[in-house]
Amino acid sequence: MEIFESIQCPFCGQASEVVIDTSVANQRFTTDCEVCCRPIEVHAECKLGEILNLEVASG
Ligand SMILES: [Zn+2]
């Protein structure tokens, strides 16, 4: 199950959405900010259908 979650760019503060696949218990990926194009590192802890913890870091 996938959930849309809002994150905030740690570089410029722009809010954007990422899709988290909650069937993966612990995941880390990077997504490029639409505004400043810098890589946002996303770390999500999930259980099926629910996001337990979501963190963003500046790479
Ligand atoms: Zn940005």
- So what's the pLDDT on residue 6? 96
Cα–Cα distance for residue pair 51/46, rounded to 1 Å: 4
Do residues 20 and 27 touch, judged by C-beta distance below 8 A?
A: yes
Ligand 1 centroid–CA 8 distance in Å is 8
Q: Which two tokens stand for residue 47?
A: 């259980």
Provide the b/e sequence for 4-16 (b: ≥16 CB within 10 Å).
eeebebbeeeeee
- Burial class of residue 20 (count of CB atoms within 10 Å of its CB; 0-12, 13-18, 19+): buried
Q: Above 90 in pLDDT, residue 59?
A: no
Ligand 1 centroid–CA 25 distance in Å is 27
Q: Which two tokens stand for residue 13?
A: 């503060």
Instruction: Write the pLDDT tens digit of every residue in 5-38.
Output: 999 999 999 999 999 999 999 999 999 999 999 9
Ligand 1 centroid–CA 57 distance in Å is 12
- So what's the pLDDT on residue 44? 98
For residues 43-47, give the mean pLDDT: 98
- So what's the pLDDT on residue 47? 97
